Amino acid sequence: MTTWLILSRAIHIGACLLFFGILAFDRFIASAKAQRTSEMTDYWQARVRSIGLILLPLILISGAAWFVLVAMAMSGQSLQMDVLKTVWEQTLFGAVWKIRLLFFLIAIVATALSSFIKSKNLQIKFLLWFQLTLNGCLLGSLAWAGHGQESSPWHLFADVLHLLGAGFWPAGLLPLFLLLRKSRQLANKTDWLSMAELVNRFSTMSLAAVALLVITGFVNSWFLVGSIPNLFEQPYGRWLLIKIVFFCVSLSIAAVNLLRLKPRLLVENSAEMSKTTVVQLQRNVQIELFLGLAIVIVVAVLGILPPAIH
């Protein structure tokens, strides 16, 4: 059961992160680049819709599996409807899942409306921002399903911000990867200056997200680990060290992108040179995505372990 619980947690957390990350990228990065080619714009809008249609069922199914497995663990029994009903109606975990289900259902309605409405008036823009807010609530509410709600309200607040920060980076790397790959396929039609500005804008957002992750990660560690020896002596601490190592490796790759590849892309005036830089950038982003996946799996494990400070 433990393996299935870790798997369901990892899938649910990862899907929530990606859903929020794609919408955040669309609102803060992609929507600001109106000068992109119409073909690239159509591609991006199609990807937002198609990925949303994949992630929404995944969030629902993995969330339901998470709830069922936790209910079985709480009761120590096999799957029974009366056990599920008791956990749903009489526990804090059930109350959290009720609220998250409400966020999910409203998000489905908002996603459906934004998919069918093609105009760019104020109503659709408001709907897109509303959709982003809903998915932020869906993602941030995961803090109540973990260790964040066990101690100080400051810890809970930091946990919510940590989740939202991860939604911007590294989750935002997936849409960046997709646009980089498409720009290579449309090499002769790509506006490389526009692509360079998009990468520059994403780098700015990522820097803010990384700063938020570092600060909130320190706060979370303060409440859950308590001391340096606990990092090495307790299972929770050792898994947290693995997460920190993955984060630092990913951060070092992001630094290469920021300090070497991004400046090169901004100053290159040759399509061939720009394409070469994009190839290198795309490869690095792909590695960062794999590291991000590894971090999500570690987070899923950490959620079922007792905090090291205990």
Q: Which is higher by pLDDT, 181 or 271?
A: 181
Distance (Å, whole) CA 58 – CA 49: 15
Range list of H helices, 117-191: 122-140, 153-168, 173-185
Distance (Å, whole) CA 143 – CA 161: 9
Q: What is the DSSP letter of 128?
A: H
A 10 A CB-CB count for 112 gives 13
Tokens representing 39 are 């073909």
pLDDT, position 211: 96
Tokens representing 79 are 């799957």
Tell me: pLDDT of 125 over 90: no
Question: What's the angle, vertex CA 230, arms to CA 171 and CA 142, rounded to 5?
Answer: 30
Per-residue model confidence as pLDDT tens digits over 203-215: 999 999 999 999 9
Tell me: pLDDT of 227 over 60: yes
Closest CA to 63 of 45, 27, 88, 89: 88
**What residue has token string 């971090």?**
295
Ramachandran region, residue 197 (left: φ > 0; alpha: ψ -120 to 50; beta: rest): alpha
Position 22 confidence tier, pLDDT thresholds 50, 70, 90: very high
Find the distance separating the first CA and the last CA of the chain, reported in whole Å.
24
Q: For residue 222, what are the CA distances in angstroms to 161, 165, 231, 232?
A: 15, 18, 11, 15
Per-residue model confidence as pLDDT tens digits over 129-188: 898 999 999 999 999 988 777 678 889 999 999 999 999 999 999 999 999 988 888 766
247 three-state secondary structure: helix
Tokens representing 259 are 């300090």
Q: What is the DSSP letter of 80?
A: -
